[in-house]
Amino acid sequence: MTLGLLPNFVNTSALRYFYEVARYGSFQTVEEKVHVAASAIRRQVQLLEQELGTKLFVRDRNTLRLTSAGETLLYRVRRMMWELNTARSEIGVLQGEQTGHVRIGINETAAREFLASFLGEFRARYPKVTFEVVIASSNILAETLLRGEVDIIIGYALERQTGLKQIASFSLQTCITVQRDHPLADRPFVRVGDLVDETFIMPTDDQRLRHVLNSIFSRVAVKPTFSVTTNSFEFIAIMVAKGLGIGCQIRVLPGPDPERPEIVYVPIHEPGIKPSVLACYISDVQTANPAVMLCLKKLKEALQDWSTEAESADMSLLDLDKDLSNDFGGMVDESPLTGLENSDASLDV
The last residue of a domain, from among 278, 307, 329: 278
The pLDDT tens digits for 196-221 are 888 899 888 877 778 778 877 776 66
Of 37-46, 73-82, 153-162, 338-347, the least confident: 338-347
Whether residue 26 lies inside any domain: the answer is yes
Domain boundary among 27, 52, 70: 70
Mean pLDDT of 328-332: 36
Chain mean pLDDT for the chain: 78
Q: What is the pLDDT of residues 130-169, one digit of tens each?
A: 999 999 988 789 888 888 889 999 988 787 788 888 888 8
Q: Please indicate, yes or no, if residue 254 is contained in any of the structural domains.
A: yes
CATH number of the structural domain spanning residue 266: 3.40.190.10
Q: In the structure, what pLDDT confidence band is assigned to residue 316 with cuts at 50, 70 and 90?
A: very low
Higher pLDDT, 332 or 32: 32
Q: Is 35 domain-assigned?
A: yes
CA 331, distance to chain mean position in Å, is: 41
Residue 108 lies in a domain: no
Q: Residue 103: what pLDDT?
A: 93
Residue 326 lies in a domain: no
**How does pLDDT run across 36-45, given as a tens digit for each residue?**
898 999 998 9
Q: Which of 183, 132, 155 is nearest to 20 (CA)?
A: 132
- Sequence length of the chain is 349
Instruction: Examine residue 40 and state whether it is found in any structural domain, yes or no.
Output: yes
Does residue 216 fall inside a structural domain? yes
Would residue 174 be called left, alpha or beta, if left means φ above 0 and alpha means ψ between -120 and 50 degrees? beta
221 belongs to a structural domain: yes
Last residue of a domain, one of 39, 70, 101: 70
Angle at 292 between CA 287 and CA 294, to 5 degrees: 120
Number of domains in the chain: 2
Q: Which CATH number fits the domain that encloses residue 7?
A: 1.10.10.10
pLDDT tens digits along 19-42: 888 888 888 888 888 888 989 999
Q: Is the pLDDT of residue 120 over 90?
A: yes
pLDDT of residue 179: 94
Range(s) of the domain holding residue 237: 169-278
